[in-house]
Amino acid sequence: MARRTTIYDIAKELDITAASVSRALNNNPKISESTRKLVIETAAKMNYKQNKLALALRSGKSFNVGVIVPRIDSNFFASVIRGIEEELYGHKYNVIICQTHEDEKREFENINTLLNAQVDGILMSVSSISSQDFSVEIDRIIKRVVEKNVPLIFFDRKKSIEGVSSVTINDFEVSYLATKHLIEQGCTRIAHFKGNQFLEIFKNRFDGYRQALIDSGIEFDENYVIETRSTIVEGANAVKTLMKLKSPPDAIFSSGDFAALGAIQQLKSDGIRIPEDFCVVGFGNEPFTDFMELPMSTVNQVPLEMGKMAAKVFLERINKTGNLKASNQVVLTSELKIRESSLRAEVYK
């Protein structure tokens, strides 16, 4: 087996000290640019591979960051991960991706595994908690992360925990705007597909919807609110339930695009015209929303920007001297994209 090239071999080849080689490979400002380039070129020719374990021991960093998402087969989460990787790549960090599949036990295990792997930070979007009992276990291990001074950054779905940073969007405000848009189109009986209310983002979307009704003088009717997961089937089934009401709705603001798509498909099969008879607004700006036969109005959650910002918050915290428990709450501005599924008034054309 061939012997691995060391910094001592490079130093001998260039007739400089091993310390100078080490500094050059680690971009130490004490080394001139010409020397740095020469060392890097020589290291490449000699097939030198940096010992990452040794580097981690010297720096106190593993240069690994854990990212936990409910699932990666989602355009939103895939785009967030892309943003994280793009931002961290230039800083030599590797990204370890974990999925919870909306399972609290997997979420607990993911956090525990990443801690044991001694990652430098965890960027996380929490799963839909269905068990209050297990929620306590999740809070316990998150507290352990904070106590170990491992930077933890929530993105999109978050918990409000002291010392934990987050990057979210203005869910309340944009949901308020989406509902007001439907009212401006002449809709007065607006239904809402709400998400799991244990999650702050879905609660904020529901609150924004309700507040827009109240501010517009429209009575809030809980019969128009149905909790659904964002799936085509659940959206279609929710519409079937709503249309059986004595006074069925004339619009839907959905907290997810896939449920909104299911609603549109069911409404069309029932012979209901969109947007003439019924308006629909989704949430998420999934790629299909702009390529449907009838493009869907929706909210753009700016996932790429969210991923980049979450990574920036991590870098700020990991490179900050002193107390890492100081939190940073970033709220990004999302965009209501008005398309044909809710477009009646001339002013929006």
We report the CATH number of the domain holding residue 13 as 1.10.260.40
Residues 234 and 187 in one domain: yes
Closest CA to 345 of 261, 279, 263: 279
Output 25 or 292, whichever has higher pLDDT. 292
Rg, the chain, Cα only: 25
Distance CA 279, CA 182 (A): 7
Mean pLDDT for the stretch of residues 90-96: 91
Residues 178 and 292 in one domain: yes
Residues 201 and 322 in one domain: no
Q: What is the pLDDT of residue 129?
A: 64
- Check pLDDT > 90 for residue 149: no
What's the burial of 332, exposed, middle or buried (CB within 10 Å: 0-12/13-18/19+)?
middle
Does any domain span residue 2? no
Q: What is the pLDDT of residue 163?
A: 76
Which domain covers residue 35, as residue numbers?
7-50
CA quadruple 116, 117, 120, 126: dihedral sign: negative
- Cα dihedral 165, 125, 193, 335, rounded to 10, equals 60
Mean pLDDT for the stretch of residues 93-110: 92
DSSP for 97-152, please give it: EEE-TT-HHHHHHHHHHHHHTT-SEEEE-------HHHHHHHHHHHHHHHHTT--E
Does any domain span residue 1? no
Residues 148 and 67 in one domain: yes
Residues 96 and 162 in one domain: yes
Please tell me whether the peptide bond between 303 and the residue prior to it is cis, using omega within 30 degrees of 0. no
Q: How many domains does the chain have?
A: 3
Residues 154 and 123 in one domain: yes
Distance CA 148, CA 160 (A): 18
Q: What is the pLDDT of residue 276?
A: 94
CA distances from 95 to 56, 80, 117, 145, 156 (A): 15, 12, 12, 18, 18
Distance CA 93, CA 85 (A): 8
pLDDT band for position 321 (50/70/90)? very low
Output 137 or 276, whichever has higher pLDDT. 276
Closest CA to 68 of 59, 77, 60, 79: 77
- Check pLDDT > 60 for residue 323: no
- Check pLDDT > 80 for residue 40: yes
Which range, of 123-137, 153-167, 192-206, 307-321, averages the lowest pLDDT? 123-137
Percent of the chain residues topping a pLDDT of 90: 63
Residues 64 and 110 in one domain: yes
Distance CA 75, CA 18 (A): 47
- Check pLDDT > 50 for residue 289: yes
Residues 77 and 131 in one domain: yes
pTM: 0.82
CB 21 within 8 A of CB 27: no
Average pLDDT, the chain: 89
CATH number, domain of 290, equals 3.40.50.2300
pLDDT band for position 344 (50/70/90)? confident
Number of neighbouring beta carbons within 10 Å of residue 159: 18
Q: What is the pLDDT of residue 327?
A: 67
pLDDT band for position 349 (50/70/90)? very low
Which range, of 87-91, 137-141, 180-184, averages the lowest pLDDT? 137-141
Residues 281 and 175 in one domain: yes
Output 8 or 272, whichever has higher pLDDT. 272
pLDDT band for position 348 (50/70/90)? very low
- Check pLDDT > 70 for residue 301: yes
Mean pLDDT for the stretch of residues 166-181: 97
Does any domain span residue 156? yes
Distance CA 278, CA 274 (A): 5
Number of neighbouring beta carbons within 10 Å of residue 140: 10
Residues 31 and 65 in one domain: no
Residues 289 and 207 in one domain: yes
Mean pLDDT for the stretch of residues 277-295: 95
Distance CA 152, CA 110 (A): 13
Does any domain span residue 90? yes
Detail the DSSP E strand segments found in the chain. Answer: 64-69, 94-99, 121-124, 152-155, 165-169, 190-194, 225-227, 251-254, 279-281, 298-300, 329-332, 335-337
pLDDT tens digit sequence for 199-245: 999 999 999 999 999 999 999 999 999 999 889 999 999 999 999 99
Residue 144 CA neighbour count, 13 Å, CB half: 14
